[in-house]
A and B are shown apart, each in its own frame.
Chain A
Amino acid sequence: MSEKVKVRIDGEVLTATTGQTILEVARANNTYIPALCYMEGLSAVGACRLCMVEISGVGKLQPACTTPVQEGLAVVTASPQLEAYRKIALELLFAERNHVCAVCVSSGHCELQTLAQDHGVTHVRYPYGYPRLAVDTSHPRYVLDHNRCILCSRCVRACAEIEGAHVWDFAGRGIRSMLVSELSRPWGEATTCTSCGKCVQACPTGAMAEKGWGVEEMTKQRSVVSRLSSMREGE
């Protein structure tokens, strides 16, 4: 049974429903909290750590996308400390793989790039990993470039939760984690892939794209995934 609760976000008292997350309540009330791995309509996993917020009485920062509200919760969504942490999180995402926006299909329409701009990431203070990563061009219509993957798992969830095909998963641990299709078969040989393209539309970066588009040309219809999910609610 969901109940109405009162929470305070950045000083403002808001009415919410139990079961909602801090991020959902904030968005419903036009309060902006940066988020990257979160996507409306998909389960929340708390992978990117950009939505971290301060909760009074709780000693450490909590991700807004996975933390449910409760009566009397008081949240701060913006502070110098949060800003500093978010910047670090973004810089680490860039340092981990090879992001060359100047030649990227998603440049100009990339959620990672936009967040970096919004948060004033002008340079990365950590050494780049420069991993040697492959591009999977085996699918006839889509391409996966691991160099631009931030391991957010939006594609994994879109494919498993909305399409029901569950082509994608992660292999490996920590910095060696890699997105894999069907037990590490090339995407083009994955027998479960229906070529629906939901993963591509869900991907926030240029890691997944339709084939044939040049630099800056890949715009994604992210609302498709969220809309499909909302239409299925109550099924």
Chain B
Amino acid sequence: MSKITIDHVTRIEGHGRITIRLDDAGKVSDARFHVTQVRGFERFTVGRPYYEMPSITSRICGICPVSHLLASSKACDEIMAVRIPAAARQLRELLHCAQIVQSHALSFFHLSAPDLLLGMDADPARRNIAGLLEEHPDALRDGIALRRFGQQVIERLARERVHPSWVVPGGVNAPLDPQAREKTLAEIPAAAAIVARTLALWKRAVSDFPDEIDAFSNFPTMYCGLVGPDGSLRLYDGNLRFVGPDGAMVADQVRPDDYASVIGEATLPDSYLKAPYYLPSGHPEGIYRVGPLARLNVADRCGTPDADRELDEYRSRFGRIVQSGFHYHYARLIEATYALERMQELLDDPAILSTKVRAHAGVNASEGTGIIEAPRGTLIHHYRVDDNGAITWANLIVATGHNNLALGRGVLQVAQRFVDGKRITEGALNRVSALVRAYDPCLSCSTHALGMPALLLELRGPDDELLDTIATS
């Protein structure tokens, strides 16, 4: 049996490997997405005081540290059994929205725009940021400006761009500086204009990708995400909702501390990433997806005017339930619109300046769960502690984990469509990588993907012998 391996999918966060297996006739028979890094976080945090978890776990990833910080702090709030001050809640959501904006900007502009705006079959030597600079300098400039906006807000709030220590169990450790509020409010319109421009551009361009829409994880799964009591989109808080492939309600308003009643975790033989599934349906039938695409599928509405208008248009074009993984990109832009509107709403409320931002308490519960919608999807932190507050057990379910099963199945679908066993075209292999990038997987790492090593393709024969290697830049 022949085997094609795509090592280090370039332009994704972290390290991944794709193996495409060919049968003797040279047809794609199987495809897998592996995560080869071991994350020992659940093991080595045992014995540490629970309140250190936010800073320790935010080191899981240099790309979305804020997400772990928030999910972890929420789990700690539960262990302290406190309701955090209202302004602290607002400030955490504000920080989270800034993170969503900067992360979605990174995903769309920096990581995927070369494929999306230059075309999947463009010369690989030019299908990168440099090529983008030549052909779409405005889009590139917009992307950089939008990401910088998000990062600057984070920095302004947390005084640190990467790994902020501002969010703490019980709230945040400093109130909002009125000047930071003014500055951010002044900058939101420009950021919103970028997102609106990009949406307009993407709404035109998306019809140029019928094959990708057709073949990028275009299969039925369930979807999972947080929703508010009224069923609207929630990123910072809310309860879990699962909907079926046709949009039918599967489970609704599942409280965070009850997540284990709906999510089971399978371990796969060839990946260190656990594969969560919808528990009542079993593994692997309980396959579901999370992230922007899933969130827009589960939510009744966004709850902010501009985002809701965009959501209506998106649904009128692609249906109430949007199935193709290719539309993660579109969904990301709608979410960026929502996040900016939420930031405006939060900052417009003068109560956000309150100096009551932190609750202090000891260990008042032996268990705590914190769930947020990270840029890439539902993120769950669940801890147990002893009476002194030392961690005795921890479980983390990350967004890329939820999507693990769907990603594997998606790779197979794309490979069957675009990979011909006898001839591996650059465009075909790039599409496999592009699919992975559509999910924007964040592979539990601290390495920054920009400037990653060349894409290495291996073609292996029936006895695993190396037939061919192709390296691209």
Contacts and interface: CB of A to CB of B under 8 A. Distances in A.
A216 B165 contact: yes
B49 A215 contact: no
A131 interface: no
Contacts of B386: 137
Nearest to A214: B168
B59 A137 contact: no
A105 B169 contact: no
Contacts, number: 47
Interface string B370-403: 0000000000000000101110000000000000
A105 B52 CA distance: 8
Interface in A201-217: 211-217
Interface string A118-153: 000000000000000011011010010000000000
Contacts of A102: 55, 59, 163
Nearest to A138: B388
B52 A103 contact: yes
B462 interface: no
Contacts of B389: 137, 211
A10 B57 CA distance: 48
A188 interface: yes
Contacts of A213: 51
Interface in A191-226: 211-217
A217 B173 contact: yes
A214 B389 CA distance: 14
Nearest to A105: B52
Contact of A217 (B168, B362, B388): B168
The dominant DSSP class at the A interface is loop
**Interface residues on chain A, size class:** 10 to 19
A143 B50 CA distance: 12
A138 B257 CA distance: 27
Interface residues of B, number: 20
B392 to A, nearest CB: 11
Interface string B53-74: 0111001000000000000000
A214 B52 contact: yes
A217 B49 contact: no
A211 B51 contact: yes
Nearest to B167: A214
B165 A135 contact: no
A137 B389 CA distance: 7
Contacts of A143: 49
B362 A211 contact: yes
Residue among B165, B168, B362, B386 having the largest count of chain A Cβ atoms under 10 Å: B165
Contacts of A105: 52
Given A102-B59, A103-B55, A137 B390 contact: yes
A56 to B, nearest CB: 48
A102 B62 CA distance: 13
Contacts of B49: 135, 137, 143, 211
B48 interface: yes
B390 A140 contact: no
A214 B51 contact: yes
B360 interface: yes
Contact of B362 (A188, A212, A215): A212
B47 interface: yes
B368 to A, nearest CB: 14
Contacts of B59: 102-103
B455 to A, nearest CB: 31
Contact of B360 (A140, A188, A212): A212
A234 B390 CA distance: 44
Nearest to B168: A214
Contacts of A188: 388
Contacts of A135: 47-49, 390
B167 to A, nearest CB: 8
A215 B165 contact: yes
Given A102-B55, A214-B51, A217-B168, 19 more contacts: A102-B163, A103-B55, A105-B52, A135-B47, A135-B48, A135-B49, A135-B390, A140-B362, A143-B49, A188-B388, A211-B51, A212-B51, A212-B169, A212-B360, A214-B55, A214-B173, A215-B55, A215-B165, A217-B165
Closest 6 A/B residue pairs (Cβ) = A215-B55, A137-B388, A137-B390, A214-B168, A215-B165, A103-B55
18 contacts: A102-B59, A103-B52, A103-B55, A103-B56, A105-B52, A137-B386, A137-B388, A211-B49, A211-B362, A212-B169, A212-B360, A214-B51, A214-B55, A214-B165, A214-B173, A215-B54, A216-B165, A217-B168
Interface of B: 47-49, 51-52, 54-56, 59, 163, 165, 168-169, 173, 360, 362, 386, 388-390
Interface of A: 102-103, 105, 134-135, 137-138, 140, 143, 188, 211-217
